[in-house]
């Protein structure tokens, strides 16, 4: 009884903490997010994929104290800058979800509009504290269709505002405007492989190959930094259609995707012939000389046949005066069968 009471007492101590632990990979707006969660990739404000319009200031980690723990650097507009409402940021990204991570302060703008593909959203960077807090998740959009998205960010209420980093879900990436997309992607099927070819891109240091089993993606990267303009994807499943895009990469980042190309590996037709010998329940044997395809058709039939199912063997020999001859075998009469494969003489 004493042990039971001790266990109940221990459980009572734990109850207040059950369900109060932070949920993994579930950041909420206003939370400090110093590193991207699983399933996200972070892009710093120094990435050349961002285009800054107007006059911006830049704090770097090497030029400021550790009291400003932003990621490498932070672009910002001072609250007293008269042209603050004329500053903005433009960028493009591929993916389904976007997060904005930056600092907040009591002098920051309370309405910063994020325009995605022509649709307006907003976030409030103004806090109640005069002390700035860095790497705060201030904006999140999760229900976008996978694809290329154009983003414009600009305040509509004056005040300081900063730009530290964005997170993009791992289906996508921040697009660089400094490298062109590959053109004329083509796919050719060779047995269980798909061979890709595309036009070279000036200034590209390599190419990323991406694949999906759904047209339009999302795509998974199957090869990175490929040099040259051809790639062979081996070991694929017969009968499955694979969809591909290729992006160009250089020191500035990654381009938008090429056109989509697809290929469906088809199993090669079997070759050779076989002697099929059926052993029947009445003691008789039936022998048939079949092509590889004919043998495959018979074996497929045995997988689904019932006792009364009949299989038609077409006789191409000793036709005599008949237009055609056929012999039907009842599945329930077959005790077992032998298959002897051979290659016909050339």
Domains of the chain, earliest start first: 28-174 (2.60.120.260), 186-263 (2.60.40.10), 273-342 (no CATH)
Positive or negative CA dihedral for 231, 236, 238, 243?
A: negative
Percent of the residues in the chain that have a pLDDT greater than 70, as a whole number: 86
Whole-number Å distance between alpha carbons of 36 and 42: 6
Q: Distance between CA atoms of 110 and 156, rounded to whole angstroms?
A: 9
Rounded Cα gap, residues 264 and 238, in angstroms: 7
Structure pTM? 0.69
Q: What is the pLDDT of residues 231-261, one digit of tens each?
A: 999 999 999 999 999 999 999 899 999 999 9
Please tell me whether the peptide bond between 21 and the residue prior to it is cis, using omega within 30 degrees of 0: no
Predicted confidence (pLDDT) at residue 15 exceeds the cutoff of 60: no
pLDDT tens per residue across span 89-146: 999 999 999 999 999 989 899 999 999 999 999 999 998 888 888 899 999 999 999 9
**How far are the Cα atoms of 29, 39, 122, 158, 240 from residue 26, in angstroms, in the given order?**
10, 11, 21, 31, 35
């Amino acid at each position: 009884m004493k042990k039971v009471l001790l266990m109940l007492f221990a459980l009572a101590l734990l109850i207040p903490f059950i369900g109060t632990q932070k949920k993994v990979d579930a950041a909420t707006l206003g939370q400090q997010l110093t590193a991207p969660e699983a399933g996200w990739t972070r892009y710093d404000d120094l990435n050349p994929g961002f285009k800054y319009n107007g006059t911006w200031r830049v704090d770097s980690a090497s030029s400021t104290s550790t009291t400003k723990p932003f990621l490498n650097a932070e672009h910002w507009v001072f609250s007293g800058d008269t042209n603050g409402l004329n500053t903005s940021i433009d960028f493009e990204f591929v993916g389904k979800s976007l997060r904005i991570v930056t600092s907040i302060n009591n002098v920051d703008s309370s309405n910063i509009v994020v325009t995605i593909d022509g649709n307006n959203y907003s976030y409030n960077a103004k806090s109640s504290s005069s002390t700035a807090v860095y790497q705060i998740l201030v904006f999140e959009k999760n229900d976008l269709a996978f694809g290329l998205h154009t983003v414009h960010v600009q305040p509509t209420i004056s005040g300081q505002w900063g730009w530290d980093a964005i997170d993009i879900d791992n289906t996508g990436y921040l697009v660089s405007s400094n490298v062109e997309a590959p053109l004329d992607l083509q796919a050719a099927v060779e047995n269980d492989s798909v061979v890709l070819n595309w036009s070279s891109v000036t200034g590209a240091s390599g190419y990323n190959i991406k694949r999906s089993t759904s047209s339009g993606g999302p795509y998974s990267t199957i090869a990175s930094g490929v040099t040259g303009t051809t790639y062979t994807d081996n070991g694929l499943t017969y009968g499955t259609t694979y969809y591909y895009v290729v992006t160009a990469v250089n020191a500035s980042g990654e381009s938008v995707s090429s056109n989509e190309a697809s290929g469906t590996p088809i199993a090669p037709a079997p070759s050779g012939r076989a002697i099929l010998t059926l052993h029947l329940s009445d003691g008789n044997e039936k022998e048939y000389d079949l092509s590889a395809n004919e043998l495959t058709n018979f074996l497929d039939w045995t997988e689904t046949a019932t006792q009364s199912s009949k299989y038609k063997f077409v006789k191409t020999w000793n036709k005599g005066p008949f237009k055609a001859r056929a012999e039907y075998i009842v599945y329930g009469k077959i005790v077992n069968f032998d298959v002897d494969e051979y290659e016909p003489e050339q």
